Structure 1
Amino acid sequence: MKKLVTGIAMLLTGYAGFAADYFVKSEKEFTEADKHAIAGDNIIIANGSYAPWTVKFTANGSALRPIVIKAQDAGKVIFSGEVTQTIFKITGNYTQLQGLNFNNCILNKANGKNGLLIDLNNTKHSRITNCTFQKNSAKVQFMPLVIISGEGEHNQVDHCSFISNQDEQDLQVQINSPKFPTYTLISDNLFSDKDKVSWKVFNGGECVQIGQDPVLKGTAMAKTTVRNNQFIRCNGEGEVISNKSSGNNYTNNYFEDCQGELVMRGGHDCLIDSNQIKGGTGGIRINGSGHVITNNIISGVRTGIRLMYGMSKGKTETGFYVAATNCVISNNHISKADVGILVGDNKNQDWTGKFDTNKYPSRVIQDIPPADNQFKNNDFTDTKQTIVYK
């Protein structure tokens, strides 16, 4: 039953078992629908092109009856233009955002606020699905399009497309200890055609970032799963996926011709399993302890797997980089590489003046080698050097 968001129509939603469709064409109508929506209702945004909204959705669905916010027709609700606040901030539980198109949005900062397309904030069991994010950009470094934030759990981003976005981070799970999201699922998305960032320091162009501070918050157990995604020609920076927290799983993802790697920048006890990396500059880079890197297929890169030196080791010492220790590297197949597995990259790298030692009380030389790692049943073909120790 489709309803306008006015008058008596909204009163009908209060009856038990009744589900309403709210048809909205403006921020005002959307906000009014939020006041009255109950589990099982649909909020349908009329087809059309819109300047960015600034709306917050607080209503709660249920496990069996989520509230769905969706385009009238998938892909035909298009948001474009300068964004200086959050377009959709979802705080209600069991809410689904579906079928929206964000095209040529320009993220910026104004009046102390940051432009953002979607924020799943403190919500549980909410979902972003079948949305398109294309040709969006940021005017300030380190600005994401989509974030999962606050003390949420079991939220999901799936079957979305992130295409030709520039100078931004596509998707971020925000780790602000002691409260941060857990059990996030990022699955079946496409990330493609991301050009190198234009920033002076080539950083801030990740497709997926799980955590932001690997030095002080890397031990946070985010327990995120990133699976069944495709990364095609993702060249924004050296970290296509940037892991900066602990207990995360990266499984069955496909990378092709990316100028970057699947990177454990920090954190511990992550699983990197059954990913395929074809072409590009590199494969998997490892800092931290207790990771399991297994069953991955890597071909046509300079180095398949790199285990890095650090300024510290283990989970209790503070280091701007933590040496790769106590990891298991097993059953990986590496072909057509210059080096299959490199144990000990960035030896004696000097970081003097490159980070704030007051904020990060770390030594500045990467001189602690990888240690106590296990290498089992890895297979190499057409690889110039199989395992190299530095």
Structure 2
Amino acid sequence: MVSIKKIACIFSLLLTTQYAFFAHADEYFIETKDAYYAIQDNLNAGDTVILKNGTWHDFEILFSGQGTADEPIRLTAENAGQVIISGQSNLRLAGQYLEVSGLVFKNGYTPTSSVIEFRKDSSELAFHSRVTQTVIDNFNNPDKTESDYWVALYGRYNRFDHNHIVGKRNRGVTVAVRLNTEASQQNQHRIDHNYFGYRPTFGSNGGETLRIGTSHYSLTDSLTIVENNYFEQTNGEVEIISVKSGKNIIRGNVFLEAQGTLTMRHGNGNLIEENVFIGNKVPHTGGIRVINKDQIIRNNYLEGLTGYRFGSGFTVMNGVPNSRINRYHQVENATITNNTLVDVEHIQLAAGSDSERSAVPINSVMSGNLIINRTTQQPFTLFDDVSGIKFSDNVMNQAPLSELKYGIKQQNVTLERAANGLLYPQDKSLNIGAKRDLRVLDKSTTGVSWYPKVPAVIAFGSGETHAIEATPEALLAAFEVAKSGDTIAIAAGEFTVPRVLFVDKVLTIKAQEAGSVKLGFEKSTLFEILDGGSLALDGVEVSGTKSPDSYGNSVIRTKKWGMIENYRLRVTNSRFVDLNINHSFHFFVTGKGAFADEITLQGNTFSAVSGDILQLDAEIEDLGIYNAEYVNIQNNAFTDVSGAVVKLYRGGTDESTFGPHLLVNQNTLNNVGQGKRNKTGASLFIHGVQVTDIEQNDFADTKVIVVEHTVGEPKTVIRQNTYNTVPFVTVEELRFPGPHTAVLDNNKQIK
């Protein structure tokens, strides 16, 4: 039966909207935003709202009402995946027993603090409500530093399940469980069967994929269940899941090539069980980090993890005595049992030990664990007294450290893969480590079936090749038609490019025959990398003689400000000459906020450069932000460079990132860094870099290497280099007293 109220509503809508049709009294088919706004305050238990297929631009959806367990109020798409929410849009749920499904958020960003929020405001929350079969794809604020959540759960008894979440690039947690009011505590939310896809390295703190609570409410219980989710390459920062509350269950999840850890950062009494971590030896892949009281870690499987320190395969932290709520509480009464660790490079106990973090783990046990490393590397590192962790009935194929021998048995163990894809002892009588019937979540059962799980990064050279003549017209035309992954191969010749080449796709520019293409350019830069762009140059020669007679030119630069997407730059087998028509002519300049996953220079020659080769020091505010994760400089020749080969800067005291990483190997530097505008006075200026490897280079008449260590236990190795300028290198510890920690080995002075 159709109620009078609904008849009146239908009649009103027919008069006030372009079109609205209701198949039933309790089913609204909505074609316009105005039609939705007209009914949004009049929804009752059992009603269903269907949004018409198409793109809904700048659509702020408030979905509220009082459904019941038997008759929830539903908001859904005409066809799942064919309702696109774009522009400045979001979704708020407020009330009880609400269910949303089938929407896709892309090509836009939220104008508020969240894309999906389980509340209307601080006083109207959602309870017993659900968001399922929904996609959020690269729905990023164009200002990378602007923080927002993609999903914020408030209230109690809510469920977020079978959703596809990929590509968060701006600051802020992807999914946050909020405990900032009593009505949102002890919430018993369920987060399950979601696909969390690629989250690129953020380059500073603020890139967690899932956070449960905050430090301010960390002594409060959340009772949130996180189970059967798939985390693939969620690389935002060192904490993939940051647990900051108590009595949560993290169970049955898979972490595939995910750089970071499941971290019990704050809060007590959490259960971590039956999770699978597969690193495939990808750098910085981590496992589990233990902090606080009463944590239970059991029946987890970890394989091929390379991470170290706070991002290790397995970490038990030191705490701060009488810690403030936002620092590190002592590990107490941790139970670590029946876990399997195969080819986990680092198991670090009492990690973070220093003058502040001096409270060692106490009253804890580590038993029944299987630890197999199929290399000679010793996985355990002890940073302090670990007698407060009682070891028993553990098996390891290598000799345990002397401090742990009492509780770890050394035994040769042959492993074989079981039907679930995991490695177990071939000897089935050896009943140790994770259980043999551990269920490994299938990626296809997570997220939605109708939205593709595409590769995170498009490879250089993976598309078509466009062979062109050596003319500016041909190059410009190829730029227009090329797609991401394509290669533009230029025939032999010499020409000048009259305009900036904007790179907004993944492109390779190469000479058909190495060294046969000579390029000049008439603007202040030849290439500018924009969002979505990555550039590979191979086998070309670039001259600066046709460039403007003014300071500050460059061969390549990024967008000057406001990039949201990470990029890659590879330059190989190329020659760069006469970059000196005026002062401060640089090879590459980063914009502020731009972030490179990788910058590689290999097999190139650079001569007569009045500026720097790589300027990667735009972030000088000491906020823990930096401009490149991996910088690789190998087998190049640098001659008569007035500035530095590289200026790489990461400031601040934050410890939640892995990089930068710098490799300088087998290069020759002759007369580098001597220019009066090189204010660093260095040939290589390295500040706050986490991993530095400078080996087998020849330095002649070249300024000093300046290394400034800050936080994070940086690893610096400078060895087997030759030099004729003294001093060759200076290393300074800026944060901690005492001698520097760099390894200077077998460097040779030549006359």
TM bracket, shorter-chain basis: 0.7 to 0.9
| TM-score normalised by the chain length of structure 2 | 0.44
Structure 1's 10 and 370: CA in aligned 2 closer, same or farther, altered over 3 A? farther
> Superposition RMSD on alpha carbons, in Å?
2.3
Contact persistence 2:150–2:175 (CA under 8 A): yes
Q: Given residue 389 of structure 1, which amino acid in structure 2 is its aligned partner?
A: L
1:36 and 1:218 mapped to 2: Cα distance? 38
Show the 5 A alignment for 1:47-62. 47-62=53-68
SS of equivalent residue, structure 1 residue 102? strand
1:185 counterpart letter in structure 2: R
Q: Which has the higher contact order (CA 8 A, sep 6+)?
A: 1
In the other structure, the counterpart of 1:362 is none
Q: Which residue of 2 aligns with 1:250?
A: 250
Query: Would you say the 8 A contact 1:300–1:337 is kept in 2?
Result: yes
Alignment partner of 1:331 is 2:329? no
- The residue number in structure 2 matching 1:360 is none
The alignment's TM-score, normalised by the length of structure 1, stands at 0.84
- State how far apart, in whole Å, the 2-side matches of 1:313 and 1:265 are: 16
Asked if the contact 2:156–2:183 (Cα under 8 Å) also holds between the matched residues in 1, the reply is no
* Whole-angstrom CA distance in 1 between matches of 2:135 and 2:31: 20
Which runs of no fewer than 5 residues in structure 1 stay unpaired? 12-17, 109-113, 350-364
Match of 1:369 among 355, 360, 364: 360
Match of 1:204 among 203, 206, 217: 206
Aligned position for 2:262: 262
Structure 1 residues 65-88: Cα deviation after superposition (integer angstroms, max 9, x where no partner): 1111001110111112235xxx22
Q: Of residues 108, 114, 122 in structure 2, which corresponds to 1:116?
A: 114
1:308 aligned to which of 301, 317, 340: 317
Q: Which structure has the greater CA radius of gyration?
A: 2
Which residues in structure 2 correspond to 1:178-327 (within 5 Å)? 178-181=182-185, 182-198=187-203, 202-212=204-214, 214=215, 216-279=216-279, 280=282, 281-302=285-306, 303-312=312-321, 318=325, 320-327=327-334
Q: Say which SS state the counterpart of residue 66 (structure 2) adopts.
A: coil
SS of residue in 1 equivalent to 2:87: strand
**Corresponding residue SS for 1:91:** strand
Q: Which amino acid aligns with 2:160?
A: V
1:389 equivalenced with 2:382 (yes/no): yes
Q: What does residue 132 of structure 2 align with? A: 129
2:50 paired with 1:44: yes
* Aligned equivalents of 2:301, 2:146: Cα separation in 1: 33
SS of structure 2 residue aligned to 1:250: strand
Give yes or no for contact 2:218–2:325 (8 Å, CA) kept in 1.
no
Corresponding residue for residue 509 of structure 2: none
Report what 2:165 is aligned to: 162
**Partner SS, residue 175 of structure 2:** strand
Alignment of 1:103 with 2:106, yes or no, is yes
Give the ranges of 4+ consecutive aligned residues of structure 1 lying more than 4 Å apart after TM superposition.
5-8
SS where residue 40 of structure 2 aligns? helix
For residue 313 of structure 2, give the secondary structure of its aligned residue in structure 1.
strand
Q: Secondary structure at the match of 1:366?
A: coil
**Do the aligned residues in 2 keep the contact of 1:313 with 1:319 (CA within 8 Å)?**
no
What residue identity is the alignment partner of 1:307?
Answer: V
Structure 2 vs 1, CA of residues 185 and 19 (structure 1 numbering), >3 Å: closer, same or farther? farther
Say whether 1:176 aligns with 2:174: no
TM-superposed CA distance for 1:310, in Å, is 1.5
Give yes or no for contact 2:253–2:276 (8 Å, CA) kept in 1: yes
**Inter-partner Cα distance in structure 2 for 1:52 and 1:272:** 40
**2:331 partner SS:** coil
| Aligned amino acid, residue 62 of structure 2 | K
1:35 corresponds, among 41, 45, 66, to 41
Q: Offset of 1:106 from its aligned partner?
A: 2.6
Instruction: Find the counterpart in structure 2 of residue 111 from structure 1.
Output: none
Q: Is the 8 A contact 1:19 1:39 kept in 2?
A: no
Q: Note the alpha carbon deviations across 1:269-307, whole angstroms, 9 max, x for none.
A: 000000000005211011111010000000111332101
Cα deviation, residue 10, structure 1 = 7.2
Aligned mates of 2:289, 2:7 — CA distance in 1:
55
How many residue pairs get aligned? The number is 349
What is the CA–CA distance in structure 1 between the aligned matches of 2:192 and 2:322, rounded to whole Å? 32
5+ unaligned residues in a row in structure 2: which ranges? 13-23, 120-124, 307-311, 384-751
Structure 1 residue 217 displacement after superposition: 1.4
